[in-house]
Amino acid sequence: MMRASRFSLYAVLAALAEILAGCEQSANLPMTTLAPKSDLASAIHHLFLEVTAWDAMILLIVIVAFTLAVFVFSTRAGEAAPPSQASSDLKLEIAWTLGPALVILMISIPTVRTIFRSQPEIAPKGALDITVVAHQWWWEFDYPDGHKTANEMHIPTGQPIRLRLESADIIHSFWVPQLGGKRDVVPGQINHLTFMASVPGEYPGQCAEFCGLSHANMRFRVFVQTPDDFAMWQKAELAGPATPPANDRLAVEGAQYFATSPCTTCHTVEGVSKGYIGPNLTHFGSRTTLAAGVLKNDPSEVAAWITDPQKIKPGAYMPGLVLPGPKLNALVAYLESLK
């Protein structure tokens, strides 16, 4: 009997490992928590596996005990009635109190350790501090050297990242499944998220706390880059906005229109306008998406966005502006030139 149950334990664990390995290999599951790409995500993932192993063991014990009770130790027709069950068995009672207590202890030790590990009080040395401001329904990223971007955060591998999470309005939650756990973003309070990314790549994120009409459209992306690539990106961000070359007539015309347009009340383009309601557009042309990951950054989608943002993103706090075709094309050309 002993050998049989040990064999089935191995069989269950092997099957479980297969299933989990299958999930990890699916590159087409971008929101998976089973393919950690940072120290924080790995710690949480290991905790999950550890707890799952204990759970599987308990499940197995229950199944074995149940099977024994039903098929081996039950009373058969014509057999004498079982002895009275009124008296207790002290040893058995101690065993089934201590057993589960031990299992809970084995689960809680790594859990508490991971909780503390995931929330260090102070930033690790050499950490890159980025302030994340959640807005209904987009994300702002402020870098320590002063440049700002939206909906696409770039970070280097191998350097601790310390996010300072702030909200401009209501409660949101910052979540990049492959880089670590969710953390609430609460107005009037600053929460932190600390991790170090290990594998370059593009990782999708999503607001994970219902925050109104376009909550589901409050996505973002994290670009994890090698330190060299990150330094290059950082340098480009720090440079002023690109001024369209004189021979790019369309973009030059768009720049002239933009500078006096209502767009400037809400959007900053460094050296051109100051507005803080919407995303900073200084390097808009170098982003791959817009409107919190909802649209691809190409001229036709940008034009559609400017014309009717609420159609694309219900509730969006940007008014639509219907412009005559040539003017719209010029404005879009200017925005796309802001590399």
The site for ligand HEC (CB under 6 A) is made up of: 137-138, 150-151, 261-263, 265-267, 277-279, 281, 284, 287, 290-292, 302, 306, 313, 316-319, 321, 331, 335
In the complex with ligand HEC, the residue whose CB is nearer, 135 or 162, is: 135
Give the range of 82-90, 100-108, 199-207, 279-287 binding Cu ion by CB under 5 A.
199-207
For ligand HEC, give the closer residue by CB, 16 or 216: 216
Among 130, 197, 218, 269, binds Cu ion (CB under 5 A): 218
Q: With beta carbons less than 8 A apart as the criterion, state whether 187 and 170 touch.
A: yes
- Which tokens sit at 304? 């559609």
Binding mask 159-178 for Cu ion (x = CB under 5 A): -------------x------
Q: What is the DSSP string of 219-288?
A: EEEEEEE-HHHHHHHHHHHHS-PPPPPTT-HHHHHHHHHHHHSGGGGT--BTTTB---SS---TTGGG-S
Distances (CA, A) of 277 to 48, 61, 164, 318: 40, 58, 20, 9
Of 63, 7, 26, 279, nearest in space to 177 by CA: 26
- The answer to whether the Cα torsion of 290, 295, 299, 300 is positive or negative is negative
Closer to ligand HEC by Cβ: residue 41 or 302: 302
Nearer to Cu ion (CB atom), residue 184 or residue 229: 184
Which entry of ligand HEC, Cu ion, none binds 317, CB below 5 to 8 A by partner kind?
ligand HEC
Q: How far is the CB of 292 from Cu ion (least distance, A)?
A: 10
Toward ligand HEC, which CB reaches closer, 180 or 278?
Answer: 278
Residue 211 contact, options ligand HEC, Cu ion, none, Cβ 5-8 Å cut-off depending on partner type:
Cu ion
Q: Which residue, 151 or 337, has its beta carbon nearer to ligand HEC?
A: 151
Token pair of 308, please? Answer: 């009717």
> Rounded to an integer, what distance in angstroms lies between the CA atom of residue 116 and that of residue 138?
29
SS3 content of the chain, % helix, strand, coil (to 5): 45, 20, 40
By the 8 A CB rule, do 193 and 163 touch? yes
Taking CB under 5 A as the criterion, the residue among 44, 133, 153, 207 binding Cu ion is: 207
- Do residues 332 and 302 make contact, with C-beta atoms less than 8 angstroms apart? yes
Q: In what order do the strands lie in the sheet with 219-225?
A: 152-156, 219-225, 201-206
By CB under 5 A, residue 215 contacts Cu ion:
yes
If contact means CB under 5 to 8 A according to the sort of partner, which of ligand HEC, Cu ion, none does residue 23 touch?
none
Shortest spacing between CB 238 and ligand HEC, in angstroms:
18
| Residue 129 near residue 123, CB atoms below 8 Å | yes
277 binds, among Cu ion, ligand HEC, none (CB under 5 to 8 A by kind): ligand HEC
Give the number of residues in contact with Cu ion, rule: CB under 5 A. 5
Q: Which residues bind Cu ion (CB under 5 A)?
A: 172, 207, 211, 215, 218
